[in-house]
Structure 1
Amino acid sequence: MAVALTMVQMKVAVLRHSMSGQRAGFVAIGAVTGLVLAGATIWLGLSGAEVLAATYAVWMLGWIFGPAFAGGGDETLRPEFFTLLGLPPRRLAAGLLVSAFVGVAPAISLLALVGLTVLGARQGLAAALVSLPALVLQLAVFVLLSRVAVALLGVALRSRVGAVGAGLANGLVLALLGQIWVVFVALGQSGGVPPVVGTVARYLPSGWGVAAVEAAASGDWGRTAAALAAMAVLVVLLLAAWAALLTRRAGSARTAPGGRAPMRATTASGAVLAKELRTWSRDLVRTHQLTFALAYGVFFAGAPLIIGIPVMLPLAGPIFVVMAAALSANLYGTDGTALWLTVMTPGAADVRGRQHAWLLTVAPIAVVLTVALTAVADGSWPAMLALLVALLGGGAGLVPLASVYALIPGTDPHRRGGNPLRSTEEDGAVTGMVYAVLALASLTAVPATVVAVLTGWPGVVLAAVTGWACYWWFGLLAERRLLARGPELLETMRTGRRPAVTVATGRPGKWTRYEALPRRERIIVGVCYSIGALPLFPQGVVPAIIKLNGGDTRAWFLAMYLPPGLQWPTIFFMIALGLAIYATGVIIPFRYKAGESQQNADEPAEVPAT
């Protein structure tokens, strides 16, 4: 107990001192999104046990596979920190487990599990009382499943087969979660949740709490005790498994086995190209990311086949390109302090070499996917080729550009811990960069794709022009930035601390950078950019398209549940609301003007060396 309480105090102290600057904004965004999802889950407690059990299965999958997308999950306290204390593995695991309940994600999940109490309260006092230990045990199961999954993934990333397998599994699950509307439509077509889905969801660990509450409501106390005991036993088994996996964590970097063929490059760009190609083939973290992007693209585009819609299949290649660009956007950050080699070698042509290596790694796979699936689905060749060409050029330009303009300090590859996915301390910043590059890369293909849809093959020509322009111009900007600010970027990589920025004042002026805004405004802007898409697209644009095409699919579209006379007004209101939220996020930076040059209040001031 003393070890657990000490670790809880340590985590609280770390979180208290780290909730500043950009990280606080990302935490606020995640909290707002999580509260919305938790509220929706509690509301589903009124809909019946089948729907609630299926919803908790989705929460469980999020806990298991979410860390693969978010850089390894929350590891504020790592096992490596306590190696020299000589704690037994089970005591260390128990202490880390207790500290894992401190944070935003566990609190939101606990709130979502209140749906068990809502379900039980509708069926009597006894069921409501049983729901209290059930939701605590259910949360412990979620947290431990997440920790064991991260530990297993770390073990898997020690071999090429494991890295590929983990990438395929993560890509499949997250793609299906991203296309959850397909499941809703399929359920709507079948008249609700099929009985088999509710039965399977109850047998999953995420449904044992629902089973306990239902049994208590019917007076079957034997089944109630069995369900609660099963969760308690599972917690003990998962804790033991996690303790065993903690002993296998190591601090050395892992690379895929490969030959030692010498580099025969004769130019600086060729040397960078050869080095990067070897990194893409030998670094198991990059292997995992590339496999994840490929699996996500294929499964995301193939998910609508569940309801008999094949039109998205040709998009597998373009989705793969966008996801690969987003996951590799912090290219220089993941290299660590090796950046000094570039800084100390003028004219090294580093940016162009990295662009060529990225294209040679991603383009062949994307071309094969797009051509094959377009032929299978009988898609539009001009539109698909224009989209692919434009995205390849945009991705090749944005990857180095985002990396040097928004570099996130990372861990040197040879110092990566037992969780290889955790290459940086700033998980929120990395997640924000991924989403930003996803959006920007998609925007680079909009002009050419629109022209291809309207005119046909001229759009492919325009895609070649815009793709080459993005590749050349963005690469040139990145190269100039690297040459001009190389020492500052290296200092950021070495210390993990960004240079001081001026704090903006409340006077109108030109556009103010996000990090120069006051903390409250940063949080507001971040929340606006995060939730603006919810009313605009899922509740506004998509139902408008459904109505224009004469469909009547309800799924989770609010307007489709209203009387016909209120559907279009609701759609217009949701579109206006989404645009207003985005406009708020854009207008706020114009209200602030850079004030006197001073250290950012959110960052600790450095003490000059004596």
Structure 2
Amino acid sequence: MVAHLVTLKLALLRNGLRRSAWQVVGLVIGLLYGLGFAALLVVGLVVLAVQGDQEVAATTLVLCGGLLVLGWWLIPLVAFGVDATLDPQRFTTFGIPRRQLLVGLALAGLVGVPGLVTVVVALTSAAVWWRDPAAVAAGVVGAALAVAVCVVGSRATTTALAPLVTRRKVREIGTIVVLVPLFMLGPIMAAVGSGLSSVSDSLPEIARVVGWTPFGAPWALPADVAAGSWGPAVAKLVIAVATLAGLAWVWDRALTRALTGGEQREGSQAKVRGLGIFGRVPATPVGAVAARSLVYWLRDPRYAGAVVVVPLVPVMLAFLGGADSLLLLLSAPVGALLFGWAISADVAYDSTAFWTHVAAPITGAVDRWGRVCAALAIGIPGTLVLAVVSLAVSGRWGLTVPLLGFSLGVLATSLGASSFVSARVVYPVPKPGESPFSTPQGSQTAAMISQMVGMVALCALLLPSAGLAVAAALTGSVVLGVVTLVVSIALGAVFLRVGVRLGGAQYDRRAPDLLTTMRGFA
């Protein structure tokens, strides 16, 4: 049965590749990226082995290995649903012995780029101790335990916390918690680098402490053997084995609850009086579409990315160029671009609920304008706030006119481009209720190429306005500022109208095909 589950995972992967050429391309790119990353880590391990400094090797392996284990445990919680090909609940009606099911699912969890990279790096780490055969043997045992703790811990945390993670409020908070560090990765890495340089002398002591934790014990085992510290080595072996046993027990109990209790869905307890947003918009087809889209903007975690990161744009630009630099003034145009481009996957985000638009029926122009109006209701205030904040911080109030004109032009132009792209291209996206960080099979490459092509075209449309805005900012000319305002808003209005018109034509021609395509993703 264990071999059958692993074979099933491989068959699902193979069938997925046959279904779409994009999945083949995506797998190849992911594999090359993963193997390249693994190659860099292996080179680093070889350097450690050649140097022969046991303290440096032990410190590096324990700290980096501990982070690897922690990543395996935590990342699936924010990317819940990232690998649902062998969902345990699908085996509810099969009389599979629990132990075989656990082992089979654990081994199947290694099938993929992350599992392959982890196994390669873990086994290579044993070669660091090549001068001591006993340490090499301990390194192999520790590597096997580390990989097992990674996989079993990942399954245990996701299965045990599934009832909590699937709640909408928890997903929304998780989206914010993850998006903020990702967007601020540059400043965070700079701060971490500065912090590490200041505590570099303390890293060996920190590694010794981490080596006594479940995260670092498997990686610290060969270092103790190489140093002849057999007592601590045995103790850390016990910690690693006990951790694995405890995680397996937690996973077993959580899996039992999931298989016998059925899928737990969050009940709707919200009490809504009246029509909510639908009662505050004009009673027209465009108003209805706009109200439905506003509900997405306000309640769907998948739209949070376009909203949460916008306030961080000035912080990032201030970090890159300083609070008084012209670079800070890009906050409003960049924010406008994020707001406008957020609806480039609007139809895909509808998923099978798109049938309501097809069955209504409504024209493509109504659908496009409704979604645009919802984005404008969020984007215009956000863009204006960013413009005022960046002007106030930088003290360049003389550039108010060109900045506002260019920013609003960017918003209108990006909404026009998005209106066409979302009606022309749909690809697998996280389904409603799933984490915005989940990655449906075959979506990465198609999404990347369509977004890249669309962004290049959008940047080309913005070139005239951008050139005027840069000239106005560098010269301080009032005339150029007014010209930038007029030209940017005029071009933005034209591109918005053209984008909505072309997108509406695509919608009228392809709406049933779009729905059929998305049903195939479900």
Normalised by the length of structure 2, the TM-score is 0.76
Other structure's SS at 2:138 match:
helix
Query: Aligned to 1:341, which of 348, 352, 356?
Result: 356
Q: Which residue of structure 1 lines up, in the alignment, with residue 84 of structure 2? A: 75
Residues 256 and 409 of structure 1, relative CA distance in 2, 3 Å threshold: farther
Query: Aligned to 1:232, which of 241, 245, 258?
Result: 241
Say if 2:5 and 2:108, in contact at 8 Å, map to a contact too.
yes
Give 1:272 shift.
Answer: 0.7
Q: Is structure 2 residue 177 aligned with structure 1 residue 169?
A: yes
Of Structure 1 and Structure 2, the greater helix share is in: 2
Higher mean C-alpha deviation, range 38-47 or range 175-184: 175-184
Aligned pairs for 1:304-319 (under 5 A) are: none
Query: Aligned to 1:476, which of 501, 514, 518?
Result: 501
Query: Aligned to 2:424, which of 384, 392, 405?
Result: 405
Q: Is structure 2 residue 200 aligned with structure 1 residue 194?
A: yes
Q: Is structure 2 residue 274 aligned with structure 1 residue 261?
A: yes
Aligned pairs for 1:425-440 (under 5 A) are: 425-429=441-445, 432=448, 436=452, 439-440=455-456
Other structure's SS at 2:93 match:
helix
Q: Is structure 2 residue 123 aligned with structure 1 residue 128?
A: no
Aligned pairs for 1:270-419 (under 5 A) are: 270-282=287-299, 286=300, 288-296=301-309, 302=315, 329-344=344-359, 345-347=361-363, 349-369=366-386, 371-372=388-389, 375-376=392-393, 385=404, 388-408=407-427, 413=432
Say if 1:289 and 1:327, in contact at 8 Å, map to a contact too.
no
Q: Which residue of structure 1 lines up, in the alignment, with residue 94 of structure 2? A: 85
Distance in 2, Cα, partners of 1:86 & 1:235: 25
Q: Which residue of structure 1 lines up, in the alignment, with residue 52 of structure 2? A: none
AA aligned opposite 1:488: D
Residues 219 and 99 of structure 1, relative CA distance in 2, 3 Å threshold: same
Higher mean C-alpha deviation, range 11-20 or range 379-388: 379-388
Normalised by the length of structure 1, the TM-score is 0.66
Gapped regions of structure 1 (runs ≥ 5): 498-610
TM-align CA RMSD: 4.2
Give 1:427 shift.
Answer: 4.1
Q: Which residue of structure 2 lines up, in the alignment, with residue 110 of structure 1? A: 119
Q: May I ask how many residue pairs the two structures share in their alignment?
A: 485
Residues 439 and 407 of structure 1, relative CA distance in 2, 3 Å threshold: same
Give 1:485 shift.
Answer: 1.3
Aligned pairs for 1:172-251 (under 5 A) are: 172-177=180-185, 182=190, 186=194, 190=197, 194-196=200-202, 199-200=205-206, 203=210, 206-246=215-255, 247=257, 250=263
Other structure's SS at 1:75 match:
coil
Other structure's SS at 1:19 match:
helix
Say if 2:363 and 2:504, in contact at 8 Å, map to a contact too.
no
Residues 308 and 432 of structure 1, relative CA distance in 2, 3 Å threshold: closer
Deviation readout 1:93-116 (Å, 9 max, x if unpaired): 443222111122210222233452
Deviation readout 1:305-329 (Å, 9 max, x if unpaired): 8899656776666666656666654
Deviation readout 1:229-267 (Å, 9 max, x if unpaired): 333333333344445555457375776835142234421
Residues 100 and 452 of structure 1, relative CA distance in 2, 3 Å threshold: same
Higher mean C-alpha deviation, range 487-496 or range 241-250: 241-250
Q: Which residue of structure 2 lines up, in the alignment, with residue 95 of structure 1? A: 104
Give 1:354 shift.
Answer: 1.2
Q: Which residue of structure 2 lines up, in the alignment, with residue 11 of structure 1? A: 9
Give 1:407 shift.
Answer: 0.9
Q: Which residue of structure 2 lines up, in the alignment, with residue 38 of structure 1? A: 38
Deviation readout 1:339-362 (Å, 9 max, x if unpaired): 233234142601111122123235
Distance in 1, Cα, partners of 2:135 & 2:346: 52
AA aligned opposite 1:238: L
AA aligned opposite 1:342: H
Say if 1:90 and 1:239, in contact at 8 Å, map to a contact too.
no
Q: Which residue of structure 2 lines up, in the alignment, with residue 455 of structure 1? A: 472
Give 1:277 shift.
Answer: 1.6
Aligned pairs for 1:545-584 (under 5 A) are: none
Residues 112 and 230 of structure 1, relative CA distance in 2, 3 Å threshold: same
Distance in 2, Cα, partners of 1:141 & 1:162: 26
Distance in 1, Cα, partners of 2:393 & 2:312: 16
AA aligned opposite 1:250: E
AA aligned opposite 2:287: G
Distance in 2, Cα, partners of 1:394 & 1:68: 36
Distance in 2, Cα, partners of 1:431 & 1:400: 16
Gapped regions of structure 2 (runs ≥ 5): 49-55, 474-480
Q: Is structure 2 residue 489 aligned with structure 1 residue 464?
A: yes
Distance in 2, Cα, partners of 1:303 & 1:200: 31
Distance in 2, Cα, partners of 1:435 & 1:388: 21
Higher mean C-alpha deviation, range 333-342 or range 50-59: 50-59
AA aligned opposite 2:285: A
Deviation readout 1:469-521 (Å, 9 max, x if unpaired): 44333222221111011222222223449xxxxxxxxxxxxxxxxxxxxxxxx
- Structure with the bigger RCO (C-alpha within 8 Å, sep 6+) is 2
Q: Which residue of structure 1 lines up, in the alignment, with residue 29 of structure 2? A: 29
Say if 2:415 and 2:496, in contact at 8 Å, map to a contact too.
yes
AA aligned opposite 1:31: L
AA aligned opposite 1:170: V
Distance in 2, Cα, partners of 1:396 & 1:8: 45
Distance in 2, Cα, partners of 1:237 & 1:226: 16
AA aligned opposite 2:519: R
Percent of aligned pairs with the same amino acid: 24
Give 1:219 shift.
Answer: 1.7
Give 1:59 shift.
Answer: 4.4
AA aligned opposite 2:227: S
Residues 167 and 96 of structure 1, relative CA distance in 2, 3 Å threshold: same
Say if 1:92 and 1:243, in contact at 8 Å, map to a contact too.
no
Say if 1:42 and 1:113, in contact at 8 Å, map to a contact too.
no
Give 1:440 shift.
Answer: 4.4
Say if 2:321 and 2:328, in contact at 8 Å, map to a contact too.
no
AA aligned opposite 1:186: S
Distance in 2, Cα, partners of 1:374 & 1:448: 19
